Structure 1
Amino acid sequence: MARNGSGPSRRRLLQSAALAVTAGVVLPATHAEAGSTDGTDYPLAHWTPASTANYTASTRPSAYAIDRVVIHVTQETFANTLTIFQDPAKAVTAHYVVRSADGYVAQCVREHDIAWHAGNWDYNTRSVGIEHEGWVDQPAYFTDALYAKSAALTASVCDRYGIPKDRTHIIGHVEVPGTDHTDPGPHWDWVRYIRLVNLA
């Protein structure tokens, strides 16, 4: 997660105790995440809007070409991440958040708008940001469900904008110029992920 749209610096979010994660268990939507699939850019996502103070309204791809997907890890729980995105004082958002246990996808910012996720304005304007619940040093959060549902989402984004499904165009936050982030970290299985994106 990156703070604001321009600078590489970020406010470290307090890390709460990790929740037990069980792959394949479908969890009910909490009040903070409950949303409709109506009008989402990705039909399997649930609309859970971020505060309008935390992203820039735009008309992408006419205003800015979309040619990247940036993969993030929240360093927070799923529910807390949504709460942060809905807080107008936080100055941070991503387009999507994927829950660890079951791969539930929340869309928080429309793809035509510019989410503040990369800490680099140029990369924010040209990318779709996908957050994944978990911590970079806790690979148990990277469940089969999370990989599968996230890969299907990324494949959909790539198909809709003509983005090649490769590591040049699907990148980690750590690869954004000027970042101080390490996510998705050494436990993220890029080979598996890119294979799943190409199979979706």
Structure 2
Amino acid sequence: MVAHAGVEKPRVEGAVDFAGARWVAASDANWRRADRPDDFGIDMVIVHVTQGSFDSAVRAFQDPGHRAAAHYIVGQDGRITQMIRELDVAYHAGNRDYNERSVGIEHEGFVDRPQDLTDEMYEASARLTARICARYDIPVDREHILGHVEVPGTDHTDPGPHWDWDRYLKLVRRTRMAQAAPSGSPSPAGR
């Protein structure tokens, strides 16, 4: 097995783990400082839907009374905000073991509104998930990329019945292959 370094250390205030993400800090009450993947291996990505707007999710994750936050939020327009470093354990899954082993990604919208799940959101999230999977050598499959609804011991239903898992995993795989292609090599889409 290959050891993976994870994200850059030491910590730098405002640093993001995904290029292009905007940093907005979550409340300290909504996550726990850690040194992942050294103290807890990361082997999952958990997909969430906010059940609200992008801005309402940011506000909730900044609220110490909320007692939950994900590492990232992806907007319907494709913007990405990081609120917790991947080094740290976000309280997003409702299950301690899954929190320690995963990166949580929220998606702006409502589970019962398929129109909220935009092309821009799927594409941005796929780029983010592909980078996370590459960084921690996470397989791109449904055993390792799962919905909040699949976390044991929770009553959540997100990402909901309209989340297109086949489309999403194809986008993640295609992006990961393109990211892994040596510079100057044709991408798989170009063949």
Q: 1:87-146, CA deviations, whole angstroms, 9 ceiling, x for partnerless residues?
A: 11111100000001x110000000010000000000000000000000000011100000
The aligned residue for residue 116 of structure 2 is: 141
Q: Note if 1:91 corresponds to 2:58.
A: no
State the alpha-carbon separation in 2 of the partners of residues 142 and 134 from structure 1: 7
Matches within 5 A, 1:1-200: 39-100=15-76, 102-200=77-175
For residues 54-107 of structure 1, the C-alpha deviation after alignment (integer angstroms, 9 at most, x for no partner) is 10110000010000000000001100100010111111100000001x110000
User: Quick one: which amino acid aligns to residue 99 of structure 2?
Assistant: N
How far is 1:161 from its partner?
A: 0.3
**Secondary structure of 1:151's match?**
helix
TM-score normalised by the chain length of structure 2: 0.84
Mapped to 2, the partners of 1:67 and 1:111 lie a distance apart of 12
Question: Which amino acid is the alignment partner of residue 112 of structure 1?
Answer: L
Q: Could you say what the CA RMSD is over the residues aligned between the two structures, in angstroms?
A: 0.7
Structure whose CA Rg is larger:
2
Partners of 2:25 and 2:15 in 1: CA distance: 12
Deviation at 1:198, TM superposition (A): 0.4
Q: What letter is aligned with 2:149?
A: V
TM-score (norm 1): 0.80
In the alignment, residue 145 of structure 1 is paired with which amino acid? E
Deviation at 1:179, TM superposition (A): 1.2
> Quick one: distance in 2 between partners of 1:48 and 1:128?
16
Following superposition, which runs of at least 4 residues in structure 1 exceed 4 angstroms of deviation?
none
* Aligned-residue offset at 1:164: 0.3
- Number of positions where the alignment pairs a residue of Structure 1 with one of Structure 2: 162
Cα distance in 1 between the residues matched to 2:66 and 2:111: 21
Identity %: 56
Q: Pick which of 189-198 and 81-90 moved more.
A: 81-90
**Partners of 2:66 and 2:161 in 1: CA distance:** 27
CA-CA distance at 1:53 after TM superposition? 1.4
Q: For residue 131 of structure 1, give the secondary structure of its aligned residue in structure 2.
A: strand
- Equivalent residue, structure 2, for 1:34: none
Return 5+ residue gaps in structure 1 as ranges. 1-37
